[in-house]
């Protein structure tokens, strides 16, 4: 399963979410499908995309939030699973693209290539719903179901370790950040 | 426990007056009253962390959502948050109000706190984080409010160091 196909399969639904992604391939691939003002790409600070999603979800309980995390990033901040589970905001969907690799920095294998089971870790951390998906159809239905059930869900999506040739896009980090905040202001002022 | 309840209360009331509505924290002795006050206040969201760096992401999310927040941690927690501060708050110009208990400074009896005490201010200076001391009740309200104003106008983290003089009663 390709991460890009997963993103494409839910791209139209993402209009209704606040979207936070990790750096590297995830950010570049989502932008390749078309940037929107409700997408925020955390281009560094590995591990903090899920924390950012948690902050957004707790502060905007009526707004759906989705985080596109990765195995390398999540492994740097496993404690975030326990913090998310503790507060379990219903409006938060946590997707982890697990390619068993630190793809953006040379493709070195992560611990998930050697048996570390993120689904098991997330479940044991107390995330109320955790699923692993291996094909695009199931990925799409898992994302839709998380929203319909209105329950904090971690979706571990097993994907192939391949990505775009480069990661720098023409969207500056600050432009993205100011646009994202203005977008949320426009939602909350109505 | 000789942590000052009255001074903790003054700090807490100031946070409320500054419209802080989310506090993320990891417990530490000097902060016990502040954490309890936050926990018991229905107007406040308390996020108990596994590690302090998470607070950078949570406060950034709150900021995007238009909610004012504060990070409440020990100086060792600040040291544990540095990459988040540099690679998120500084990189993306996110205002953070950080209340940091300044352990390991003059009068510290716990040997394990002392190295962190030595490096707290040099690290803050190296990161170019403006920092101010809370050391007397007279300046609590003014300094916290001014730190928040500076964080919001400069779009960067600002640190308040909670000192032994203010937090501890012996």
CA-based nearest residue in chain A for residue B84: A45
For residue B1, is pLDDT > 80? no
Residues of B in contact with A188 (CB under 8 A): 65-66
Average pLDDT over residues B80-94: 98
In angstroms, the separation between the Cα of residue A74 and the nearest Cα of chain B is: 12
Confidence of residue A105 (pLDDT cuts 50, 70, 90): confident
Closest CA to A96 of A53, A37, A64, A44: A53
- A158 has which bridge partners? A98
Measured in angstroms, the CA of B139 and the nearest CA of chain A are apart by 30
What angle in degrees, to the nearest 10, is found between the helix axes of A3-10 and A136-149? Answer: 40
Å between B43 CA and nearest CA of chain A: 12
User: How far is the C-alpha of A143 from the C-alpha of B103, rounded, in Å?
Assistant: 45
Which chain A residues contact residue B59 at CB under 8 A? 55
Question: Is residue B61 within 8 angstroms of chain A, CB to CB?
Answer: yes
- Tell me how close the Cα of B18 comes to any Cα of chain A, in angstroms: 17
Mean pLDDT of all residues belonging to chain A? 96
From chain B, pick out residues whose CB is under 8 angstroms from the CB of A87: 47
pTM over 0.95: yes
Q: How far is B93 from chain A (nearest CA, A)?
A: 8
In angstroms, rounded to a whole number, what is the distance separating the alpha carbons of residues B38 and A142? 36
Determine, for residues B61 and A57 on separate chains, whether the beta-carbon distance falls below 8 Å. Answer: yes
The residue among A21, A39, A52, A55 with the most chain B CBs within 10 A of its CB, best to mutate, is A55
Chain A residue numbers touching B92 (CB-CB < 8 A) = 173-174, 177
CA distance A76 to A93: 19
Instruction: Report yes or no for ipTM above 0.90.
Output: yes
Interface check B49 vs A, CB under 8 A? yes
The proportion of chain B whose per-residue pLDDT surpasses 70, expressed as a percent, equals 99
pLDDT in tens, A60-70: 999 999 999 99
Residue-level pLDDT at A67: 98
> Is beta strand A108-109 parallel, antiparallel or unpaired with respect to A101-102?
antiparallel
Please give the interface size between A and B, counted as residue pairs whose CB atoms are below 8 Å apart: 109
Instruction: Answer whether residue A106 shows pLDDT above 90.
Output: no
Q: Can you give the pLDDT at residue A156? A: 98
pLDDT digits (tens, 9 = 90+) for A9-50: 999 999 999 999 999 999 999 999 999 999 999 999 999 999
Please report residues of A whose CB lies closer than 8 A to that of B39.
Answer: none
Is A54's CB within 8 Å of B53's CB? no
- Nearest residue, CB atoms, B50 vs list A56, A82, A188: A82
Q: What is the CB neighbour count within 10 angstroms for residue B17?
A: 11
Query: In chain B, what residues touch A82 (CB-CB under 8 Å)?
Result: 50
């Amino acid at each position: 399963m390709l991460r890009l196909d997963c993103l494409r399969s839910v791209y139209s639904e993402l209009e209704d979410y606040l979207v936070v992604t990790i750096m590297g391939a995830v950010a570049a691939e989502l932008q390749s499908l078309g940037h929107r003002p409700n997408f925020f790409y955390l281009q560094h600070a590995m591990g903090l995309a899920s924390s950012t999603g948690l902050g957004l979800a707790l502060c905007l309980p009526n707004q759906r939030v989705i985080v596109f995390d990765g195995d390398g990033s999540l492994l740097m901040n496993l404690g975030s699973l326990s913090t998310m589970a503790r507060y379990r905001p219903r409006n938060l969907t946590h997707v982890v693209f697990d390619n068993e690799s630190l793809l953006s920095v040379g493709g070195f294998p992560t611990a998930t290539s050697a048996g570390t089971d993120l689904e098991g870790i997330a479940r044991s951390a107390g995330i109320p719903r955790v699923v692993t998906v291996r094909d695009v159809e199931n990925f799409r239905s898992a994302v839709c179901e998380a929203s319909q059930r209105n329950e904090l869900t971690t979706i571990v999506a097993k994907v192939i370790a391949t990505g775009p040739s480069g990661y720098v896009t023409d969207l500056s980090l600050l432009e993205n950040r100011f646009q994202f905040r203005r977008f949320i202001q426009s939602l909350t002022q109505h | 426990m000789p942590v000052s309840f009255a001074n903790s209360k003054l700090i807490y009331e100031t946070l409320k007056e500054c419209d802080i509505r989310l506090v993320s924290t990891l417990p530490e002795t000097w902060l016990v009253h502040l954490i309890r006050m936050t926990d018991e206040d229905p107007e406040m969201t308390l996020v108990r962390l596994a590690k302090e760096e998470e607070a950078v992401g949570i406060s950034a999310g709150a900021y995007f959502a238009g909610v004012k927040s504060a990070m409440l941690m020990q100086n060792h927690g600040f040291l544990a948050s540095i990459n988040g501060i540099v690679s998120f708050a500084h990189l993306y110009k996110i205002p953070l109000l950080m209340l940091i208990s300044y352990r390991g400074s003059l009068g510290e009896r716990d040997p394990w706190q002392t190295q962190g005490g030595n490096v707290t201010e040099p690290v803050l200076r190296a990161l170019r984080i403006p920092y101010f001391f809370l050391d007397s009740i007279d300046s609590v309200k003014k300094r916290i409010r001014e730190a928040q104003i500076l964080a919001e106008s400069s779009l960067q983290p600002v640190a308040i160091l909670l000192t032994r003089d203010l937090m501890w009663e012996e």
